[in-house]
Chain A
């Protein structure tokens, strides 16, 4: 049973560029959440997708957008990258037990 997978593992971009990160949830899970973890900090909630719609959103600007596909996989898009967007981006999935989220290994984004 595959866990949550994310791609790519690492990414380097320059300011002003756009980036797309991808996530496949754990088998049987239908809800995907995205978190940003800055160096030395705890993860911060970006948004959550269920039934291909954004269900909840954290305190992140509109430059952060997402999508969920019919197979429950998800993408996180960030436009007009800033240096401060450099972080580990974590995807988590949830199934029948909505309070328990399982995390992927993350995508480490560096903005230069």
Chain B
């Protein structure tokens, strides 16, 4: 079945440091890939997505590239801020059923702490 593996946290960085959170996946077929972010006490927010190989998703300074050859979707940001402190989830989605959405398979999450 499908699975997602993320680097374990917590990851602690100083403000303006470079961020990488590793994510690899196992899937049959050609999944879409996502990064979601969860702030304390809240639900999940979609951060970025990529739907096919070599696509790059980007949002709010975060980027991730869909690498089919390495089955990876690593999250990067050039300069983190204290406000980026949150838990980040990598996820994949099956290709859609006709007329319905897909189910998401999540990694266990990586907690990011950014300090001044």
Contact = CB atoms under 8 A, between A and B. Distances in A.
Interface in B14-49: 32, 34, 36, 42-46, 49
Given A41-B109, A42-B106, A100 B99 contact: no
Interface residues of A, number: 29
Interface stretch (B58-66, B67-75, B89-97): B89-97
B108 A42 contact: yes
Interface residues of B, number: 28
A85 to B, nearest CB: 18
A98 B31 CA distance: 12
Interface stretch (A14-22, A73-81, A101-109): A101-109
Given A31-B101, A48-B101, A55-B100, 5 more contacts: A90-B43, A99-B102, A100-B34, A101-B102, A104-B43
Interface of B: 4, 32, 34, 36, 42-46, 49, 51, 89, 91, 93, 95-97, 99-109
